[in-house]
Amino acid sequence: MTDLTHDCLERMDQLIYQSTRGIHILFEKSDIVRAITDEDPKLEENTIEKLKLVQDLLYKFIRLKEIDEKKAFLQDLNTHEYALLIRAYFKIVDNSILNKLVEKH
* pLDDT above 70: residue 2: no
Does 47 reside within a domain?
yes
**Domains of the chain: total:** 1
Cα–Cα distance, 8 to 44 (Å, whole number): 29
Residues 29, 32, 35, 39: is their CA dihedral positive or negative?
negative
Can you give the residue range of the structural domain that contains 27?
6-104
Does 1 reside within a domain?
no
* pLDDT above 60: residue 12: yes
* pLDDT above 70: residue 51: yes
pTM, entire model:
0.84
Tell me the pLDDT tens digit for each residue of 70-96: 999 999 999 999 999 999 999 999 998
Higher pLDDT, 61 or 44: 61
